[in-house]
Amino acid sequence: MSNFAFGTYRISDLNPQHIEALKEAIESGITMIDTSSNYMDGGAERAIALAFREFDDYKRDEIEVVSKFGYIQGTNLLNYKNGLLAIENAQEIVEYNQECYHCISKQFMHEQLTESLKRLEIEKIDCYLVHNPEYYILDAIKRNISKDDRLDEMYRRLQDVFVGLEEEVKAGRIGSYGVSSNSFSLPESSDEFLPYEDLLTLAQNAANIAKNEIHSFTMIELPINILERDGLRCASWAKKSGLRVLANRPLNAKYKDKMFRLCDCEESKEYYRYFNELMEICDNETLRPMYNLLEELDEVKHKFGWIGDYDVFLFSQIIPHIKKSLEEVDEEDVEAVLNFIDLYLQEYKKMVSYECSIKTREHLKEFFLKCSVSMQECAIRFLMQKDDIDYILVGMRKPAYVHQILSLRE
């Protein structure tokens, strides 16, 4: 049966509840924490360090830390654009979009590892993963590079960084390494598929170059869930090859080009209370734009395809609108209004999640016909029964979530 690992994709060192969840997970027997240099702009790694401070060396040594590198985002991207982050060969950089660059060069890996060790406040990362190297493939497809040529270049880049990772194993800064790739979960016929069966050959070549007797490639990570099952073929190959398999995105699943949150959510019992209170506060000439926004939000709360659509809408539309509306409010009143807005938005998200879960149940009823419990429990148990999966990465941002997930082991 698969075990659980603590996934830190949305964990921040600025949120005390996240720190408490990490501590609770460690105390409750979680033995692996998965993170990355780009999660919350390094905040996830800093949060792990804060949690570790509460435990003695013996307890910390029981926890396996897995981190990743590859993304140039947030502070890294700002530093790169301002000339504070130097990458010797600019051709190694993939400019995916304005907010996201990517690089897996050996030099960049060495530097990112140094920064991760500082943030984590440890001397060694147990397993260090190349994070979504297929960004090069995506870019090469856009540039109409032939399949053979782009795979040859992809393998060159991977072997080069594998040499660097073998050097870091020898230096004692990492215990082993591997690859985390969304492309492992695609059908082999997809242009974006990253062939995984050649990775061990590349790793052994790298070990030979680094003058290590055997390679230290030990792990793969990929999305597998009740909807996306192509990755099970990769997991089977990995287990036969002696690798460990981490399954991510157990509850955020893609099906027929649509994303779904596999979770039954309860309807907010406080939504209309906070909605009406905020409407009353905004029922004046100064806050009329906010009043109109609230009316519109209430009308569309059932129209989001999945909760991720709402998250994008929140940051791209709602928050900018709120900021503009508050420009006309007296400074001494802004904080009070913001408190009401915060309470309202918390409950609004619960309502959106509830509406999305109803539609998800209906849309995916073929997958959950025999599911007499929550969608999330069915989805997690589906993975727990797969012998080829060693760890299921689950985001547990509250201590209560930790107990809910770990109760499934009983």
Whichever domain contains 250, its CATH number is 3.20.20.100
Q: Is residue 368 part of a domain?
A: no
Say what the pLDDT of residue 63 is.
97
Residues 305 and 220 in one domain: no
Question: Which alpha helices (H) appear in 260-330, and where do they start and end?
Answer: 271-281, 288-300, 307-313, 319-325
**Taking the alpha carbons of 155, 161, 167, 169 in that order, is the dihedral positive or negative?**
negative
Backbone conformation region of residue 197, classed left if phi is above 0, alpha if psi is from -120 to 50, else beta: alpha
Number of structural domains (the chain) is 2
Compute the half-sphere exposure of residue 298: CA atoms within 13 Å on the CB side of its CA. Answer: 15
Residues 220 and 337 in one domain: no
Residues 143 and 230 in one domain: yes
Say what the pLDDT of residue 369 is.
87
d(CA 94, CA 97): 9
Q: Is residue 265 part of a domain?
A: no
Say what the pLDDT of residue 1 is.
56
Q: Is residue 187 part of a domain?
A: yes
Question: Which alpha helices (H) appear in 180-282, and where do they start and end?
Answer: 199-209, 231-240, 271-281
Residues 62 and 195 in one domain: yes
Residues 169 and 299 in one domain: no
Residues 179 and 93 in one domain: yes
Residues 245 and 278 in one domain: no
Task: Let me know how many helices (H) and strands (E) the chain has, helices first.
Answer: 16, 13
Residues 142 and 75 in one domain: yes
Range of the domain at 208: 3-260+373-409
Residues 38 and 121 in one domain: yes
pTM of the full structure: 0.92
Residues 296 and 150 in one domain: no
pLDDT along the chain (410 residues), means of 10: 90 96 96 97 98 95 97 95 87 94 97 98 98 97 96 98 98 98 95 96 98 97 96 97 97 92 95 96 92 96 92 92 88 88 96 96 91 94 96 95 90
